[in-house]
Amino acid sequence: MSKILAFGEARDGELRNVSFETIAAARQIDQDAQVVAVVLADQNTTALAEEMIHYGADRALVVEHTDLKEYTSDAYTQAAMTVINEEDPDGIVMGHTSSGKDLSPRIASKLDNGLVSDVTAIEGSLEDAKFIRPIYSGKAFEKKALNDGVTFVTIRPNNIAPLEKDESRSGEVSSLDVDIKDLRTTIQEVIRKASEGVDLSEANIIVAGGRGVKSEEGFEPLYELADELGAAVGASRGACDAGYCDYSLQIGQTGKVVTPDLYIAVGISGAIQHLAGMSNSKVIVAINKDPEANIFNVADYGIVGDLFDVIPKLTEEIKGL
């Protein structure tokens, strides 16, 4: 029986959704594999590990250490390598998140192993598994295989559906001691922006504004719509560059890559660099006053009109539902 490690990702004491998606991906790689959830965190690891088991892992391995409070390359690499050396897995799945993007190549290099990153779908199983990933800013997809060593992949959040949660599911949770040392960086302080609702990378619905929103205040109607929909607010780089919103909202080639169920692009022209971050969304709605705007070429539904008329009407309609 093969063994696949599914790495969870904890933030502020809670698991991010991608953690559960790594378990589903591990099952897709090999239905019969022993899926071992891995939780690296500074606290509460047993509860998090049990949650991973509820989402389909067979057992869980945790490393709890104060140096794992915030992600740092050195501490997490040491913790992850200790787990991998202990378990000697056939497969490893991590989230293609900002920390996963940093950690996975370090691990691959230490293992002298290949890595397929940013996987959005899996075909076949273990020996002949093929991993599908977008290339050329999402214009095409390639299918990759790992011919040797550990089957090591990172998965793009929101693409591989998690398995159904079963709270009656149980499994062994074991803990591993790690001697984390020689840290070249430590986090002195984390300054978080005031929470603006739903996490953009994990949101099912995103309302994104572009330069057409025209000002910081122009984003207000978008926030109101997002509140009604339980959505996160995102932005084009045009809007960020113009100072209408923070760069943490930027979606695109040099921003976040998102794949929500519903993406509402408001006053965004649809430059290729923006499409790179959102064109794989399941349903795209574009609102733009220019009927020739490129965003309509990728949209499933388009509304040609002034966003300042359309968005309040949409919000009212949704309030009335």
Q: In this complex, which beta carbon is closest to ligand FAD, that of residue 110 or of residue 313?
A: 313
> Closest separation between CB of residue 266 and ligand FAD, Å?
7
Q: Which stretch binds ligand FAD (CB under 6 A): 38-46, 96-104, 167-175, 207-215?
A: 207-215
Identify the residue among 210, 221, 234, 260 touching ligand FAD (CB under 6 A). Answer: 210
Identify the residue among 280, 281, 288, 315 touching ligand FAD (CB under 6 A). Answer: 288
Residue 138 contacts ligand FAD per CB under 6 A: no
Residue 137 contacts ligand FAD per CB under 6 A: no
Identify the residue among 26, 150, 293, 299 touching ligand FAD (CB under 6 A). Answer: 293
Name residues contacting ligand FAD, limited to 218-257 (CB under 6 A).
Answer: 236-239, 250, 252-255
Q: In this complex, which beta carbon is closest to ligand FAD, that of residue 65 or of residue 237?
A: 237
Kindly state the number of chain residues that form the binding site for ligand FAD, as judged by CB under 6 A. Answer: 27
Q: In this complex, which beta carbon is closest to ligand FAD, that of residue 123 or of residue 290?
A: 290
Phi and psi, residue 104, nearest 5°: -60, -45
Two structure tokens written together for 74: 């050195």
Distance CA 175, CA 178 (A): 10
Specify the amino acid at residue 145: A
Residue 274 contacts ligand FAD per CB under 6 A: yes
Q: In this complex, which beta carbon is closest to ligand FAD, that of residue 113 or of residue 273?
A: 273
Q: In this complex, which beta carbon is closest to ligand FAD, that of residue 91 or of residue 218?
A: 218
Q: In this complex, which beta carbon is closest to ligand FAD, that of residue 146 or of residue 287?
A: 287
> Closest separation between CB of residue 227 and ligand FAD, Å?
20
| Binding interface with ligand FAD (CB under 6 A) | 210-212, 236-239, 250, 252-255, 267-269, 271, 273-274, 277, 287-290, 293, 306-308
